[in-house]
Amino acid sequence: MSEHYYSRTPTSTHEERTWAYELRGETLTFTTDRGVFSRGEVDYGSRFLIESFLYPDVHGGILDVGCGYGPIGLALAKQDEGRQVHMVDVNERAVELCERNRKQNQVKNAKVYVSDGLEGVEKHDFAAIVTNPPIRAGKKVVHRLLEQAYDHLTTNGQVWVVIQKKQGAPSAKEKLRQCFGNVETVAKDKGYYLLCAEKV
């Protein structure tokens, strides 16, 4: 049985590498390893979300679900140091790397911890939830994340989801419409859809 990046405890042999990447005008340094998503570079979907994201008008923190080694949450935390950013992943190796990356990029306004979906997230008043969901975990897992997002947002808080059309963007969009009563396609590029729904 092959191991996926959404395994809780990856058993892949370690092969760490460290490299720098510019996101939202800031150069960040990431250490990655086998057993985590897109270890060689920041994947296109995550970059598309990071560069397109608009900070919400409402007060509150940001939650990065499926944070991996940290590019989305750390880039957003670095850009708005007045907001607390929570970063969660089911993959313990990814969470450990994310915490190391938080420290080496001197990001003080981020908190990194293990959570299966949003099960381990206690706060219910986030201004925004961002996710590049684990498509390979299956539609059921992805749709559960979208359902859980609603209860963890403050009023007028938003969930931002990046997903490829061929990997389920239409069904994710319909799921958000069912859960939130609204959904917008903020942008499209190279087969990726950036979806946003607001808790009204």
- CATH at 120: 3.40.50.150
Question: Does residue 89 contact residue 38 with C-beta atoms inside 8 Å?
Answer: no
Nearest residue to 107 via CA among 132, 133, 83: 83
Question: Does residue 104 contact residue 134 with C-beta atoms inside 8 Å?
Answer: no
- Domain range for residue 127? 17-198
Write out pLDDT tens, residues 116-175: 999 999 999 999 999 999 887 788 999 999 999 999 999 999 999 999 999 999 999 999
Of 4-8, 110-114, 160-164, where does mean pLDDT reach its minimum?
Answer: 4-8
Assess if residue 4 is contained within a domain.
no
Strand, coil or helix: what is 89? strand
Assess if residue 123 is contained within a domain.
yes
Assess if residue 92 is contained within a domain.
yes
Strand, coil or helix: what is 92? helix
Assess if residue 133 is contained within a domain.
yes
pTM to 2 decimals?
0.92
Assess if residue 76 is contained within a domain.
yes
Residues 6+ apart with CB under 8 A from 151: 124
106: which 2 tokens? 């001197």
Assess if residue 11 is contained within a domain.
no
Query: Domain tally for the chain?
Result: 1
Q: How far is CA 134 from CA 70, 96, 172, in A?
A: 14, 18, 12
